[in-house]
Structure 1
Amino acid sequence: MELAYIPSPSRGVLHLGPIPLRAYAFCIIIGVVVAVWLGSKRWVARGGAKHTVGDIAVWAVPFGLVGGRLYHVITDHQLYFDPGRNPWNAFKIWEGGLGIWGAIALGAVGAWIGARRRGVPLPAYADAIAPGIALAQACGRWGNWFNQELYGRPTSLPWGLKIHKVDADGTVIDGVFQPTFLYESLWCVGVALLVLWADRRFKLGHGRAFALYVMAYTVGRAWIEYLRIDEAHHILGLRLNDWTSIVVFAGALAYFVVVGRLRPGREAPDSIDPVGVREEAEAAAGAAGSEAPTESETATSTEKPTAGKPADQPVTEKPVTEDV
């Protein structure tokens, strides 16, 4: 008998009339908002304009969603294209299934496009947004909780996750399992804190804060993958995502070391976002100019004659009387 466990939601969607409100989508949206908010604060602190992170995110987020879905569909193609499966389900992103590897890879392409349009160096942008991405992942993992998916092995731990659902093939799943969504969410929060601390302590720049985020995340993802029991491809006894974590960790480590030797320190504040800072300064100057009277307006108002009086005659003030 289970003495305690984490309950799962009975459903992951509410209906506002004919409009479905899906918890999975809300978790992703909350994550994006958190990432842009924290990234903007860090970008401004580094000398950038406050709207630049959001402007680039307009490119990065859609690319990231497409990349995340593509990675999932390609690596788990049997869920959609095996006999008896419905290929159109590959488009049902609200049912879950986003691979972080594809999301980061294609999201980086979108960020690169946005950064070029703004005249911003991509490594500096990646450093600013890195801890926000980790927090976005922490928020997004709760979407798996609402969908009752990506849980781990059966467990008797008091923080086990209670699952009761019927799969698409009619299989009934009822038990208490390792809450791998919770482990990954907490790990991502720790990654964000690590990057914030290390960036402040060592003044990481030129993409090294982002590389640190990648390394820290892949370490946690490797041991969390060990607990998961969802269907996955295996290579030499390891799940595909374990191999991906190893390769990505090695690449991020090499980047961190090499760039640290070639370009130590952080980018100069006036070099990361000159266009954005200039635009904000011009907008502020324009707003101030529209509120303050111009020199000619001031002179006209002081020289304007009183109605009915010649301009060269003094105006005699009429005594003020109180109404009784």
Structure 2
Amino acid sequence: MIRFLPDGIYLTFASGEPFRLLAWYGLILMSGAVAGAWLAAREVKRRGGDPDVVLDLMIYLLVGGVIGARLWHVFTPPPSSIEQGYTTAYYLTHWLDLINLRKGGLGIPGAVIGGAIALYFYTRKHKLSFAEWADISAPSLALGQAIGRWGNYVNQELYGAPTDLPWKLFIDPAHRVRGFENFEYFHPLFLYESLWNLANMFLLMWLSRRFADRLKPGDIILTYLVAYPIGRFLLDFLRLDAAQLGGLNANQTFMAVVALVAAAALVWRHRKPARVIPPS
């Protein structure tokens, strides 16, 4: 018998043992990747390129992104994972669990880093411009994140502090963070970040068209590296299960550094040259 449950589709055998055929979380992530690839192909076509390249590149980005996302989680596990025994030391001594995505989770910062590394090697191999393809990928990345965050909804994760706002999110007792077991409703952080990413996608697409004659290769991805980290930094103030590194919120610290560096790079790239006064 096939059953549809909140976390996936299960096949139940005569023995009564359920076997999960498909996890909604994985399906949602793949939907985000496909939507991102579709948007990237449209952008490549608009620029006069070959959209078929996107399908080839997508494999590289998915592999690099998943590896990076997993490693980010391994080295910055949130408190809830640590409570279950999934620490960095545990992963490094249990290699099978390190690659088992059901043991722990994934981290978006690592996915972006891993994807960027994969993009670098792909563009170098095929003699393409890394900056131009990073610009093409930026709106697609934002769209993929906007869709992918709904995977956190079905997993009942990525929620914030307790709230009574009209759009409050109910969390089952089994998924509540330690210390908040008696609260039922929380901020839907996954929704906030999804909307922020969707807004970023439209912003990046608008900028790439409105200021096409003034932008330099790499400006769009740098804008993404300013916009997304700002939103993530602010939203993490509401997060209950934030990874800690040296007593600091690991994600907030990383996002702050990335946003500042990217903003400085944008300003430096578009600085006006000093006016040279010819000798009299």
TM-score strictly above 0.5: yes
Is 1:208–1:255's contact at 8 Å kept on the other side of the alignment? no
Is 2:219–2:266's contact at 8 Å kept on the other side of the alignment? yes
2:188 alignment partner AA: P
Q: Secondary structure at the match of 2:258?
A: helix
Alpha-carbon distance in 2 for matches of 1:161, 1:119: 48
Alignment of structure 1 residues 28-67 onto 2, 5 Å: 28-67=29-68
Alpha-carbon distance in 1 for matches of 2:88, 2:119: 34
Note the alpha carbon deviations across 1:139-174, whole angstroms, 9 max, x for none: 111111111112100001110110014259999945
1:81 alignment partner AA: T
Which one of 239, 249, 258 corresponds to residue 249 of structure 2? 239
Note the alpha carbon deviations across 1:80-100, whole angstroms, 9 max, x for none: 138999955443325662212
2:116 alignment partner AA: A
Compare 170-179 and 103-112 and name the one that shifted more.
170-179
Which one of 142, 146, 166 corresponds to residue 174 of structure 2? 166
1:252 is matched with which residue? 262
* Alignment size in residue pairs: 253
Which one of 6, 14, 20 corresponds to residue 11 of structure 1? 6
TM-score, normalised relative to structure 2: 0.81
1:14 alignment partner AA: I
Which one of 117, 130, 137 corresponds to residue 138 of structure 2? 130
Q: Secondary structure at the match of 1:80?
A: coil
| Aligned-residue offset at 1:197 | 1.0
Alpha-carbon distance in 1 for matches of 2:126, 2:245: 42
| Aligned-residue offset at 1:188 | 0.3
Alpha-carbon distance change, 156 to 234 in structure 1, aligned in 2, over 3 angstroms: farther
| Aligned-residue offset at 1:106 | 1.5
Q: Secondary structure at the match of 2:184?
A: strand
Alpha-carbon distance in 2 for matches of 1:198, 1:227: 30
1:268 is matched with which residue? none
2:160 is matched with which residue? 152
Structure 1: 5+ residue stretches without partners: 1-8, 263-324
Q: Secondary structure at the match of 1:15?
A: strand
Compare 27-36 and 158-167 and name the one that shifted more.
158-167
Work out whether 1:200 is the aligned partner of 2:209: yes
Work out whether 1:187 is the aligned partner of 2:196: yes
1:80 alignment partner AA: Y
Alpha-carbon distance in 2 for matches of 1:166, 1:40: 41
Alpha-carbon distance in 2 for matches of 1:170, 1:197: 43
| Aligned-residue offset at 1:257 | 2.5
Work out whether 1:108 is the aligned partner of 2:116: yes
Note the alpha carbon deviations across 1:12-57, whole angstroms, 9 max, x for none: 1211464521011111101110111111111121121111122112
- Let me know the Cα RMSD of the aligned residues: 2.9
Work out whether 1:215 is the aligned partner of 2:226: yes
Structure 2: 5+ residue stretches without partners: 13-18, 273-280
Is 1:80–1:90's contact at 8 Å kept on the other side of the alignment? no
Alpha-carbon distance in 1 for matches of 2:178, 2:271: 57
- Radius of gyration: which is bigger? 1
Is 1:166–1:172's contact at 8 Å kept on the other side of the alignment? no
1:302 is matched with which residue? none
TM-score, normalised relative to structure 1: 0.71
Q: Secondary structure at the match of 1:151?
A: coil
2:265 alignment partner AA: Y
Alpha-carbon distance change, 256 to 231 in structure 1, aligned in 2, over 3 angstroms: closer
2:113 alignment partner AA: A
2:127 alignment partner AA: G
